[in-house]
Amino acid sequence: MMRKLAATLSVVALAVTGMLSAGLSATAAEDEVKRTGLSDLRVMSYNIHHGASGDDVLDLDRIAEEIESSGAQIVGLQEVDRHWSARSNYQDQAAWLAERLDMHYAYAANLDLGPEPGRTDRRQYGTAVLSKYPILSSQNHLLTNIQYAEKPTEQRGLLETVINVEGNHIGFYNTHLDHRRSEQRQLQVKEILDITSESARPSLLVGDLNAVPASTEMQQLMTRFTDVFAALGQDQAYTMPVENPDRRIDYILGSGDIQPRSAEVISSMASDHLPIVADVSVAQKPNGLVR
């Protein structure tokens, strides 16, 4: 299937190149891509550390600049504050970034607490999806959270969105897995596999998975998903720490008719994680045939 899709993509690329060289507009080239049922996407995963750098200097606009300069069309963000505390100036960070970047957004609160004294907004912390394309639906799935007596774990979730990309409806999932225990992540991965298997759409799963590629939990995910960086021979796409990174815990994964084309780790000091981007081509069945 992968070889067949790659061959199809080559034909499409030649057709589009020919149209552009013949002097036709970019819109005509886009129409040709739509006719073939293939959509080219640049996607990003970015743990933004509530807009603060590794030395805890808050600058959300610097995060926006990194997203903007990357050219990403769909972005999965982790560690996003909504009226959380003074650490992020009580800002609704997902809404602010969406407005600043002129993108649609969906927010998922994994922590949802009452307002601080003297304030009226609930304190929320979680994940978000930004998209240049319309977000048709969104749902947050809270994942298993074992109440350990020592070092309790933080509630995590899987933000599921359906996005209309030039008529193609794709599943885009964003998550941030537990950072303390492998057994907790393994339970969360099992739930993610159950949730994502309910749809036949081409899907992308991004996030800070807090696990290295050789871990049990990542091997579980690879039973359904393809690691975009690994598929391109970029196994050492290290994202932590931002200076002299030595481990890989942030991922862009694809399932279904997803063809990786390129991928990159972006050098940045805006957060305590490095952002990652990937270019993929997506083919989809008619929308009426998939959930």
pLDDT of residue 31: 59
Peptide bond into 241 cis (omega under 30): yes
Tokens 């979730």 belong to residue: 157
Task: Please name the residue ranges forming H helices in the chain.
Answer: 2-21, 26-36, 60-70, 93-101, 182-196, 216-221, 228-231
Number of H helices, E strands in the chain: 7, 12
Tokens 């407005």 belong to residue: 99
pLDDT, the chain, mean: 88
Residue 264 main-chain phi, psi, to 5 deg? -155, 140
Reported pTM: 0.87
The answer to whether residue 274 scores a pLDDT higher than 90 is: yes
| Chain segment 29-84, per-residue pLDDT in tens | 355 455 557 889 999 999 999 999 999 999 999 999 999 999 999 999 999 999 99
pLDDT of residue 27: 56
